[in-house]
Amino acid sequence: MPDTATDLLAAIADVGADRRRGGFSRHGFDRAELELREWFAAEALSRDLAVRTDRNGNMWAWWGEPGPDAVVTGSHLDSVPGGGAFDGPLGVTAALAAVDALRAKGFRPVRPVAVVVFAEEEGGRFGVPCLGSRLLTGAIDPDAARRLTDPDGVTLAEAVSAAGLDPARLGRDDDALATVGRFVELHVEQGRGLVDLGAPVGVAGSILAHGRWRFTFTGEGNHAGATLLGDRRDPMLPASALVLAARRAASQVDGSRATVGRLVPNPGGTNVIASTVDVWLDARAADAAGTRAVVDEITAAARAAAAEEGCSVTVTEESYGDTVHFDAGLRDFTADALGGAPALPTGAGHDAGILAAHVPTAMLFVRNPTGVSHAPAEFAEAADCAAGVVALATVLERLAG
Ligand code: HGY
Ligand code: MN
Ligand code: MN
């Protein structure tokens, strides 16, 4: 009996387990993710899928000769810090299980089929989400990408070089892109839409516009006990004002979200007034205008708070992507193939959102009982994962048959 998607997830349940945070910390080209790459290559080879790693570190497992008009599925294996077990890996394991299911029924594709694993989808190490698919499609400047650094100061160029890739070759890969006829990504739902609809599987309609902005507040490092309040220029104050402004600004734009999940004081001593504080803002809305309005409001509040405390502030847009509307034809074809699966919007970004600008792209969602994601509690029932595999196999058979 071939492994189910859930069995395959169980096989990697120890890789990158984060004892301190809980959940998993698996980031682009780090030890845990490299171990997952080896696991994926072995699983693919055991299915006689030919594995190739492209110039940007994305892995492609081919059923048939790589060629134009391929039907590509897959997702990512990296996680957010302390992330769940399903976000990314479920799309990869379901793709492998779907290949098994199609083979078991004697299906022979007339188009090439590939299972892809995109690099650094979460941006958990180098800060830019969907880095592998952005590089593949030319959605990020390769020189800027090479200079991206992780929290330890390691550049992407150094990391990919250590992983056996040539950093000079990072960048748009027209040859790889030309093989993709359609892309279908299966993903655990990050929300409760399917729970509320009582459906195990759905399709994606759209992705919110979203981006990331880095604010650096600079004040004066000093002694927590010896420095009078009137003599302080404490960057923690405008940083705190930004956190509160994020919630306030987002509450004023319907359907938008603004989050600060990462705030790093330097040097970070308990009895030390910080000299600088870095704050990363994640902002999302139904469209570009909404996202910009939220970010502008937050930026104005941050600048005012910095001035009041005698601090300076710099703002850098680290990534941005407009609203994604998935190909209506492929969305409806997929929904129909599944007997009328519901179409859902999502606030979560995906590599499918990047590919959608280049090839007809669709997403399948698998029910998440709590809707929780980017946290150890993220979950999907085995029966719903199995329903997702059946759905994906059905869609792949229709597209590649
Ligand atoms: O951040 C996101 O929406 C995705 O999980 N990378
Ligand atoms: Mn994610
Ligand atoms: Mn994901």
Dihedrals phi, psi of 38, to nearest 5 degrees: -65, -40
Interval 40-65 mean pLDDT? 98
Which ligand neighbours the alpha carbon of 75 most closely?
A: 3
The confidence band for 3, taking pLDDT boundaries of 50, 70 and 90, is confident
Sheet holding 209-218, edge to edge: 257-266, 276-285, 209-218, 312-321
SS (H, E, C) the chain: CCCCHHHHHHHCCCCCECCCCCCECCCCCCHHHHHHHHHHHHHHHHCCCEEEECCCCCEEEEECCCCCCEEEEEEECCCCCCECCCCCHHHHHHHHHHHHHHHHCCCCCCCCEEEEEECCCCCCCCCCCCHHHHHHHCCCCHHHHHHCECCCCCEHHHHHHHCCCCHHHCCCCHHHHHHEEEEEEEEECCCCHHHHHCCCEEEEEEECEEEEEEEEEECCCEECCCCCHHHCCCCHHHHHHHHHHHHHHHHCCCCCEEEEEEEEEECCCCCEECCEEEEEEEEEECCHHHHHHHHHHHHHHHHHHHHHCCCEEEEEEEEEECCEECCHHHHHHHHHHCCCCCEEEECCCCHHHHHCCCCCEEEEEECCCCCCCCCCCCCCCHHHHHHHHHHHHHHHHHHHC
Judged against a pLDDT cut of 70, whether residue 247 lies above it is answered with yes
Q: Which residues of 345-367 are buried (b: 16+ CB within 10 A; e: fewer)?
A: bbbbbbbbbbbbebbbbbbbbbb
Cα(184) to ligand 1 centroid in Å equals 17
Are 316 and 329 in the same domain? no
Q: Report which protein residue has its CA nearest ligand 1's atom 6.
A: 122
Which ligand neighbours the alpha carbon of 346 most closely?
A: 1
| Pocket probe mutation, ligand 1, options 350, 368, 373, max atoms within 8 Å of Cβ | 350
CA separation for the pair 186, 298 (Å, rounded): 34
Interval 361-390 mean pLDDT? 98
Ligand 1 pocket by Cβ (under 6 Å): 121-122, 129, 348-349
Interval 87-94 mean pLDDT? 98
Cα(167) to ligand 3 centroid in Å equals 25
Are 280 and 374 in the same domain? no
* Minimum-distance ligand 1 atom for the alpha carbon of 347: 3
Judged against a pLDDT cut of 70, whether residue 290 lies above it is answered with yes
The confidence band for 299, taking pLDDT boundaries of 50, 70 and 90, is very high
Interval 25-33 mean pLDDT? 98
Judged against a pLDDT cut of 70, whether residue 350 lies above it is answered with yes
For residue 194 the two structure tokens come to 């399917």
* Minimum-distance ligand 1 atom for the alpha carbon of 284: 3
Domain boundary residue among 321, 340, 370? 321
Cα(59) to ligand 3 centroid in Å equals 16
Judged against a pLDDT cut of 90, whether residue 43 lies above it is answered with yes
Query: What are 258-271's pLDDT values in tens digits?
Result: 999 999 999 999 99
* Minimum-distance ligand 1 atom for the alpha carbon of 373: 5
Are 316 and 330 in the same domain? no
Are 114 and 132 in the same domain? yes
Interval 353-362 mean pLDDT? 98
**What pLDDT does 93 receive?**
98
Domain boundary residue among 298, 321, 344? 321
Query: What are 194-220's pLDDT values in tens digits?
Result: 999 999 999 999 999 999 999 999 999
* Minimum-distance ligand 1 atom for the alpha carbon of 349: 3
| CATH number, position 197 | 3.40.630.10
Chain-wide mean pLDDT for the chain? 97
pTM strictly above 0.95: yes
Structural domain total, the chain: 2
Interval 78-93 mean pLDDT? 98
Are 186 and 268 in the same domain? no
For residue 215 the two structure tokens come to 């604010």
Q: Which residues of 318-340 are buried (b: 16+ CB within 10 A; e: fewer)?
A: bbebebbebbeebbebbbebbee
Dihedrals phi, psi of 199, to nearest 5 degrees: -120, 140
Are 347 and 364 in the same domain? yes
- Look at strands 70-76 and 50-53 and give their pairing: unpaired
Cα(70) to ligand 3 centroid in Å equals 22
Interval 362-379 mean pLDDT? 98
Are 25 and 156 in the same domain? yes
Judged against a pLDDT cut of 80, whether residue 294 lies above it is answered with yes
Which ligand neighbours the alpha carbon of 188 most closely?
A: 3
Domain boundary residue among 263, 296, 321? 321
Interval 295-310 mean pLDDT? 98
Give the residue carrying structure tokens 């600008």.
357
| Pocket probe mutation, ligand 1, options 80, 206, 319, 372, max atoms within 8 Å of Cβ | 80
Which ligand neighbours the alpha carbon of 131 most closely?
A: 1
Interval 175-190 mean pLDDT? 98
Q: How many percent of the chain have pLDDT more than 70?
A: 100
CA separation for the pair 185, 117 (Å, rounded): 10
Judged against a pLDDT cut of 70, whether residue 1 lies above it is answered with no
Are 62 and 118 in the same domain? yes
Are 219 and 294 in the same domain? yes
Are 34 and 122 in the same domain? yes
Judged against a pLDDT cut of 80, whether residue 2 lies above it is answered with no
Are 317 and 338 in the same domain? no
CA separation for the pair 283, 258 (Å, rounded): 4
Ion ligand 2: protein residues whose beta carbon lies under 5 Å: 87
| CATH number, position 226 | 3.30.70.360
Are 102 and 151 in the same domain? yes
Cα(219) to ligand 2 centroid in Å equals 34
CA separation for the pair 94, 166 (Å, rounded): 31
Structural domain range at position 237: 210-321
